Amino acid sequence: MSNPIKLGLVGIGRAGWGMHVRDIEKKPDTYTYAAACDLLPERVEKMVEKFGCKGYSNIDDLLTNEDVEIVCIATRSCDHYEHGIKVLKAGKDLLMEKPMGLTLAQAKDLFATAHKLNRKIYMRHNRRFESVFNEVKSVIESGILGNVYEINISQGSFQHRDDWQTLSEFGGGQLLNWGPHIIDHSLRLLGAPVKELTGELKQVTAGGDCEDHVIAHYVGENGRTVNMCISGGMALNGGRIFTVFGDRGSMICNDSNIKLRYINPELEIPPVVSSPDTPGAAFGASGTYASATQVEWLEKEYKAPAEDLSVIWDYMYDSYRNGAEYPIKEEEALQVMEAAEAIRKDTKFDFHK
């Protein structure tokens, strides 16, 4: 017998209506909306009509609804911390849309408050379940690329963006928009604690007063580097691109298209011994640039499997109802906020106007 979790939705906009509601429609046996609120009455009316839930114009009234078990915060970034604290203090558990807050201190305080009040926080880093990201992670862990020493991740588009997410007063900018997703990918693929992190922020094509171009360079304690780029000013090479370089092969992913080229895992490569002797007159034949061992390359091209990012709700249900471990851990959510703050502090913002 199903035992659906009763949700309260705060913010019925692009994230709330366009993402949360769309996902929950697929899961009628595990979730239902008991309440929803928004500043715009017509949005509340849509939720009441669609789900038969209670409708409110503010979060304080919604939090008095005793049926609500988990409150989903899908408001503007600048309000996440304040709304999250209210949810926890009202004795409700929390699903937080990214980002957790505007600062690492706010994120830490949210978790500290949750611990104090014995409440749960679920971070909605749903991009953790992208099929291409997980394919990259799986190939790296398989070892067929050898020692992976560099990874590049790019999320690009070309936009003259002009909404609230270009305004700093609302917590705008790509660092807190796409940033939490791609930072999370970067940290997971780095495969070790961060030893060094540097960044650069620019405003290129968007309006407002925030960055729409983010560069970050991570160096792990394992020696691996990850170069991250998020940009709204890319007229070419848009979409999601991963490139992975190892000492036995490479991997390129352009959206769902994946290409691998790697040395046959059964072929042992003896240590390369350099010679001080004068090389022959021709390149390659003397071993000047060629390997002393004949390399057998294997190549593979394929598409990443289909994905359904709504699977994050299945993980939350299993955690909430059955006590299973939620895959986005507290320390990982805090690492994302710590990295975002470090990137912002590391650079002087290049404002184009």
Query: What's residue 34's pLDDT?
Result: 98
Largest CA distance in the chain: 84
- How far does Cα 208 stand from its chain's mean position? 24
The answer on pLDDT for 6 being more than 80 is yes
Query: What's residue 267's pLDDT?
Result: 94
Q: Residue-wise over 202-225: b if at least 16 C-beta within 10 A, else e?
A: bbebbebebbbbbbbbbbbeeebb
**pLDDT tens figures, 9-38:** 999 999 999 999 999 999 999 999 999 999
Mean pLDDT of the chain: 94
Percent of the chain with pLDDT over 90: 89
Torsional sign, CA 187, 189, 193, 197: negative
Distance CA 260, CA 282 (A): 30
The answer on pLDDT for 349 being more than 70 is no
Average pLDDT over residues 235-253: 97
Q: Residue-wise over 58-77: b if at least 16 C-beta within 10 A, else e?
A: ebeebbebeebbbbbbbbbb
**DSSP notation for 145-185:** T-SEEEEEEEEE-B----SGGG-GGGT-STTTTTHHHHHHH
Contacts of 76 (CB under 8 A, 6+ apart): 11, 164, 170, 171
The answer on pLDDT for 271 being more than 90 is no
The answer on pLDDT for 285 being more than 70 is no
Of the candidates 79, 92, 89, 90, the residue with the CA atom closest to the CA atom of residue 39: 79
Residue 306 CB coordination number (10 Å): 7
Query: What's residue 277's pLDDT?
Result: 79
Question: Three-state DSSP class for 249?
Answer: strand
Distance CA 179, CA 214 (A): 8
Distance CA 252, CA 239 (A): 13
Q: Give the CA distances from residue 247 to residues 156, 174, 179, 265, in Å, rounded to whole numbers and listed in that order.
A: 28, 33, 29, 12
Secondary element (H or E) of residue 301:
strand 297-303
Q: Which residue has the higher pLDDT, 292 or 273?
A: 273
Distance CA 87, CA 62 (A): 10
**pLDDT tens figures, 151-177:** 999 999 999 999 999 999 999 999 999
Average pLDDT over residues 210-239: 97
Of the candidates 44, 35, 34, the residue with the CA atom closest to the CA atom of residue 13: 44
Domains of the chain with bracketed CATH:
5-124 (3.40.50.720), 128-307+338-346 (3.30.360.10)
Of the candidates 57, 59, 71, the residue with the CA atom closest to the CA atom of residue 6: 71
Query: What's residue 1's pLDDT?
Result: 43
Taking the model in full, what pTM does it have? 0.94
The answer on pLDDT for 215 being more than 90 is yes
The answer on pLDDT for 348 being more than 70 is no
Phi–psi pair at 237, nearest 5 degrees: 55, 40
The answer on pLDDT for 213 being more than 90 is yes
Query: What's residue 275's pLDDT?
Result: 78
Query: What's residue 21's pLDDT?
Result: 98
Alpha helix positions (H), 212-349: 311-322, 330-346
Of the listed ranges 135-139, 270-274, 295-299, the one predicted with least confidence: 270-274
Query: What's residue 288's pLDDT?
Result: 55
Query: What's residue 289's pLDDT?
Result: 61
Type of residue numbered 131: S
Q: Which residue has the higher pLDDT, 51 or 278?
A: 51
Phi–psi pair at 192, nearest 5 degrees: -165, 165
The answer on pLDDT for 94 being more than 70 is yes
Contacts of 266 (CB under 8 A, 6+ apart): none
Average pLDDT over residues 103-113: 98
